[in-house]
């Protein structure tokens, strides 16, 4: 079934790389019906960034990819930048923990400046490693996470959180952290969500659901706001991981085939959530 011509099809979290498919993957997204892409930065080298200038160059690489995608495919791209939380682990091994913390702070300041300059729309991914670490690293990660939320708060933008899977208690803890830092909880997004915690128990934190069939089956009646994402990695060593960029348009077409109720359900992740979290109404046929 064809999708309504006025319905944007939005992948809320994906990566592209100069050494991967890059624009070719975005072209496949467009050809499947995709219109808007939130592009999160990532490390493009084998080792971790070791200076704030390394992060600046990384963000610039992501920005160049975004502009090429827009110019060559017509897909609207929103840039999301920050130092990856897991970088802290490898940076501590190379630089020592105090210097690694300082580097994360400096990189977050760069990311905040990019938002203020309207080169990016959010800080992400920020948070903590999704695996167990020893107490000093765990405490350092939490300190850097708090700093990330402060930078996002001051820049007036959302924060896209990378962390372990969350249950209702985990969502409550995130909401409480946001409250303590005066960060608007409705602009805190849990990336790669696959547990589908009821909306009332999320206390305003917004899930970005990984677009697997089994997750979407549980999430489809969520009143929102919520997003859909592929977390496409564009890694030649892992073709199609995490999900291929054509996945969300395919899922959208299946839901739209259910009729008007299905189309209205799709407006939650593709229109309503983008407006409530980012303050932007995505439109089809125009940049925005």
Domain count, the chain: 1
* Assigned domain for 287 exists: no
* Assigned domain for 5 exists: no
Confidence grade of residue 5 (pLDDT, cut at 50, 70, 90): confident
Tokens of residue 97, six digits: 């923990």
* Assigned domain for 248 exists: yes
* Assigned domain for 21 exists: yes
Give the predicted TM-score (pTM) of the model: 0.96
Read off the CATH number of the domain in which 44 is found.
3.20.20.140
Rounded Cα–Cα distance for residues 74 and 27 (Å): 9
* Assigned domain for 288 exists: no
DSSP 268: I
Within the chain, strands assigned E span 10-14, 36-40, 76-81, 122-127, 159-162, 188-193, 206-210, 227-229
pLDDT of residue 288: 52
Q: 112: closest CA among 151, 85, 74?
A: 151
Counting residues of the chain whose pLDDT is more than 90, the rounded percentage is: 90
Q: Which domain holds residue 114?
A: 10-278
* Assigned domain for 286 exists: no
* Assigned domain for 3 exists: no
Which tens digit of pLDDT belongs to each residue from 241-257?
Answer: 999 999 999 999 999 99
* Assigned domain for 1 exists: no
Rounded Cα–Cα distance for residues 194 and 208 (Å): 9
């Amino acid at each position: 079934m064809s999708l309504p011509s006025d319905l944007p099809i939005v992948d809320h979290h994906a990566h592209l790389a100069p050494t991967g498919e890059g624009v070719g993957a975005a072209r496949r997204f467009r050809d499947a019906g995709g219109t808007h892409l939130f592009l999160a930065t990532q490390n493009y080298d084998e080792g971790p960034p070791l200076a704030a200038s390394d992060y600046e160059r990384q963000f610039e690489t992501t920005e160049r990819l975004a502009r090429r995608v827009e110019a060559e495919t017509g897909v609207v791209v929103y840039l999301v930048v920050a130092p990856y939380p897991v970088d802290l682990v490898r940076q501590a091994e190379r630089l020592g923990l105090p210097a690694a913390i300082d580097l994360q702070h400096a990189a977050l300041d760069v990311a905040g400046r990019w938002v203020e300059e309207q080169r990016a729309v959010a800080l992400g991914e920020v948070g903590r490693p999704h695996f167990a670490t020893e107490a000093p690293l765990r405490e350092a990660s939490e300190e850097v996470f708090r700093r990330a939320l402060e930078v996002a708060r001051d820049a007036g933008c959302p924060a896209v959180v990378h962390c372990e899977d969350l249950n209702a208690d985990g969502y409550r803890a995130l909401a409480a952290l946001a409250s303590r830092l005066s960060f608007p909880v409705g602009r805190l997004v849990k990336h790669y969500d696959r547990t589908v915690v009821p909306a009332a128990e999320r206390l305003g934190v917004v899930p970005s659901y990984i677009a697997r069939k089994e997750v979407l089956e549980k999430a489809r009646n969520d009143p929102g706001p919520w997003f859909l994402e592929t977390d496409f990695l564009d890694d030649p060593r892992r073709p199609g991981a995490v999900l291929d960029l054509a996945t969300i348009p395919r899922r959208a077409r299946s839901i739209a085939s259910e009729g008007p109720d299905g189309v209205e359900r799709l407006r939650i992740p593709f229109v309503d959530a983008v407006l409530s979290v980012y303050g932007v109404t995505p439109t089809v046929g125009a940049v925005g």
